[in-house]
């Protein structure tokens, strides 16, 4: 099952993660060619297998997150199960876990305990608040992290309630930062031969993403508030209606605003004291938005985007996911690919987006059924015989 192509070819990851943040991290490593051994609880498996939406009785959410991983069922509450994990550790390069802080230590699988078995191991812990935070014991879900990170306080219509981003952004961001840290640690290991312990917190990850808001908060003490679709300090950077769908435009400078006024056949607006500077445009935002919206509402969406771009004003249509998935861009970039599934034949998956010159996407994309690879991994890596595997299964260790 080991993949022989990709930048991470030859790297083996012991994946003790579940739900989203950890599996997203390891899916990125899988896409780059790493071999992922996904440890799941017997019978129930990763909790994500039970999250909708479903195709028949299979979670499509799980399929998207766990492509190209080998599923091995191990009961971590069983001493025999822990011994299986300990047998796999010396043969792996990376261990990723996203249990609550302290759980892995109690299992005998904490960073120092693992490094005693494999000194060069890259050990990555993903959690809501980090290993040493005073909030470390709090259960962390994406919505909780969004709420506490400040990003909800910045999202939604002006004057409206705090609003969650329309995706599990805290999980996704943490998975990306985790994968970045793992690859950096692997690079250093090539030079030093030493393993590393990584502590990746969801709250930290979302905080680190908020450069615009924090540049105001930390430098001026000005706490940002929801501003809808507009940029918090530059106008007109906003969404506007057309006759057949919304668009966004980015008039980020006086020059681009002059170009917009020319397109509107109202060049005098660029000299109007109410709009001639960014500060004035912000002060008179409501009036300016009314003038622009009155013009855009009579235009065809595609034609208007084309005219704006020709005038060197960044613009784009507001798409639904259906429009994005069916776009020429997604087709050209091959963002949606097919993975093999034992039940459905093929299912669509979306891989990590980095394209490496001369490297093709991995060809062996597949979605595992629960425990599909248990026997082969225990035979190949743990040296278990068929009789020993049967005994482990009888004792509910696997």
Query: Would the pLDDT of 66 be above 60?
Result: yes
Q: Answer yes or no: are the C-beta atoms of 186 and 113 closer than 8 Å.
A: no
Residue 4: per-residue pLDDT:
52
Residue 1: per-residue pLDDT:
44
Between helix 142-149 and helix 169-192 the angle, nearest 10°, is: 90
Which is nearest to 206 in space by CA: 21, 382, 353? 21
**Predicted confidence band of residue 76 (pLDDT cuts 50, 70, 90):** very high
In whole angstroms, give the CA distance from residue 216 to residue 232.
Answer: 10
Both tokens assigned to 364: 């062996």
For residue 72, list its beta bridge partners.
39
Q: Answer yes or no: are the C-beta atoms of 45 and 73 closer than 8 Å.
A: yes
Give the whole-number percent of the chain exceeding pLDDT 90: 92
Residues 254-264: tens digit of each pLDDT: 999 999 999 99
**Predicted confidence band of residue 332 (pLDDT cuts 50, 70, 90):** very high
Residue 362: per-residue pLDDT:
82
Residue 374: per-residue pLDDT:
97
Query: Would the pLDDT of 10 be above 60?
Result: yes
Query: Would the pLDDT of 336 be above 90?
Result: yes
Mean pLDDT along residues 383-390 = 96
Q: Answer yes or no: are the C-beta atoms of 301 and 242 closer than 8 Å.
A: yes
CATH fold label, 237-319:
formyl-coa transferase, domain 3 (3.30.1540)
Residue 3: per-residue pLDDT:
40
Mean pLDDT across the chain: 95
Query: Would the pLDDT of 123 be above 60?
Result: yes
Give the whole-number percent of the chain exceeding pLDDT 70: 99
DSSP secondary structure letter of residue 61: H
Q: What 3-state DSSP class applies to 392?
A: helix
**Predicted confidence band of residue 396 (pLDDT cuts 50, 70, 90):** very high
Residues 95-122: tens digit of each pLDDT: 999 999 999 999 999 999 999 999 999 9
Q: Answer yes or no: are the C-beta atoms of 84 and 398 closer than 8 Å.
A: yes
Concerning whether 341 is annotated as a catalytic residue, the answer is: no
Q: Is beta strand 35-40 parallel, antiparallel or unpaired with respect to 12-16?
A: parallel
DSSP per residue over 333-391, as a string? HT-EEEEEETTTEEEEEE------TT-PPPS--B-PPTTTTHHHHHHHTS---HHHHHH
Active-site residue identified among 50, 196, 231, 329:
231
Domain ranges of the chain: 12-209+329-394, 237-319
Both tokens assigned to 131: 């290993």
Q: Answer yes or no: are the C-beta atoms of 373 and 70 closer than 8 Å.
A: yes
Q: What global pTM score does this model have?
A: 0.92
CATH fold label, 12-209+329-394:
Rossmann fold (3.40.50)
Residue 279: per-residue pLDDT:
96
Instruction: Work out the number of other CB atoms within 10 angstroms of the CB of residue 386.
Output: 10
Mean pLDDT along residues 199-226 = 94
More confident residue, 55 or 375: 375
Backbone phi and psi for residue 303, each to the nearest 5 degrees, phi listed first: -65, -40
Both tokens assigned to 362: 């991995």
Residues 152-198: tens digit of each pLDDT: 999 999 999 999 999 999 999 999 999 999 999 999 999 999 999 99
Mean pLDDT along residues 228-236 = 93
In whole angstroms, give the CA distance from residue 3 to residue 23.
Answer: 18
Q: Answer yes or no: are the C-beta atoms of 209 and 244 closer than 8 Å.
A: no
Query: Would the pLDDT of 385 be above 60?
Result: yes
């Amino acid at each position: 099952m080991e993949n022989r192509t990709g930048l991470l070819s030859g790297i083996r990851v012991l994946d003790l993660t579940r739900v989203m943040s950890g599996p997203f991290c390891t899916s990125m490593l899988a896409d780059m060619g790493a071999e992922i051994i996904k440890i799941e609880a017997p019978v129930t498996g990763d909790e994500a297998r039970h999250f909708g939406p479903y195709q028949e009785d299979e979670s499509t959410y799980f399929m998207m997150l766990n492509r190209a991983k080998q599923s091995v069922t191990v009961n971590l509450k069983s001493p025999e199960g822990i011994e299986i994990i300990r047998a796999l550790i010396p043969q792996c390069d990376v261990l990723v876990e996203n249990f609550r802080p302290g759980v892995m230590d109690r299992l005998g699988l904490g960073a120092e305990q693992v490094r005693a078995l494999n000194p060069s191991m890259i050990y990555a812990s993903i959690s809501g608040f980090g290993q040493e935070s005073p909030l470390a014991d709090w259960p962390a879900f994406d919505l909780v992290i969004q709420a506490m990170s400040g990003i909800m306080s910045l999202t939604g219509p002006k004057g409206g309630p705090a609003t969650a981003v329309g995706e599990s952004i805290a999980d996704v961001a943490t998975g990306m930062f985790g994968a970045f840290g793992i690859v950096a640690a692997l690079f250093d290991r090539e030079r030093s031969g030493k393993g590393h312990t990584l502590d990746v917190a969801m709250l930290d990850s979302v905080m680190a993403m908020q450069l615009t808001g924090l540049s105001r908060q930390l430098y001026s003490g000005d706490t940002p508030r929801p501003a809808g679709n507009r940029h918090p300090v530059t106008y007109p950077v906003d969404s506007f209606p057309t006759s057949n769908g919304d668009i966004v435009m980015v008039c980020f400078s006086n020059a681009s605003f002059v170009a917009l006024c020319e397109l509107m056949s109202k060049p005098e607006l660029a000299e109007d004291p109410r709009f001639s500077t960014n500060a004035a445009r912000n002060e008179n935002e409501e009036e300016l938005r009314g003038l622009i919206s009155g013009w855009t509402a009579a235009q065809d969406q595609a034609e208007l985007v084309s005219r704006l771009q020709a005038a060197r004003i960044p613009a784009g249509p507001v798409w639904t996911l259906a429009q994005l998935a069916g776009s020429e861009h997604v087709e050209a970039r091959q963002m949606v690919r097919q993975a093999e599934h034992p039940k459905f034949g093929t299912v669509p998956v979306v891989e990590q987006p980095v394209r490496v010159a001369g490297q093709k996407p991995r060809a062996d994309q597949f979605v595992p059924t629960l425990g599909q690879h248990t026997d082969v991994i225990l035979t190949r890596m743990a040296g278990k015989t068929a009789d020993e595997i049967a005994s482990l299964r009888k004792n509910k260790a696997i």
